[in-house]
Amino acid sequence: MPLMQVRRPIPWISGSLATLVAIWVVSQRIPKTGQVIFGDGNPPTDAYFQPEPWKVSYILAIAFIPVLSIFILGQRGKLFEWLSWAVLVVLLINLLKQEF
C-alpha cells in the first residue's frame, strides 16, 4: 500500500504578508509610470499626463505572480515559497534603494 503524502496547508499568513508587500510595491511604483506630454500649440502649451498601460501591467505581474505562487504552489513545497519571497524582497530592496 503506497503511502500518501500529507499536503501542507495553504500558507495563509505568509501569503497575506506577501500580498501586503506586493500592494505596497505597486502603490509606490504605479504613480511613476506615466509621462508628461507637452502639446505643440503656441505658448502657453498644453501639458497632459499620458499613462503607459504596458508598464502598469508589467508592475502588476511582477508583484503579484509571486503572491499567487505562494498561495498555490506554497503547499507543495517550501522551495516555491522561498523563491517567491526572494522575488518580493528584490522588488522591495529596489524600491527602497530608489526612494532614498
Q: Among positive and negative, which fits the CA dihedral 58, 59, 60, 63? A: positive
SS3 20: helix
What is the identity of the amino acid at 38? F
What confidence tens digit (pLDDT) does each residue in 17-73 have? 999 999 999 999 888 887 777 777 666 677 777 778 898 899 999 999 999 999 988
61 vs 4, more confident: 61
Angle at 24 between CA 70 and CA 34, to 5 degrees: 115
Rg (CA), the chain: 20
Question: Where along the chain do its domains lie?
Answer: 12-99
SS3 49: strand
Name 50's bridge partners: 35
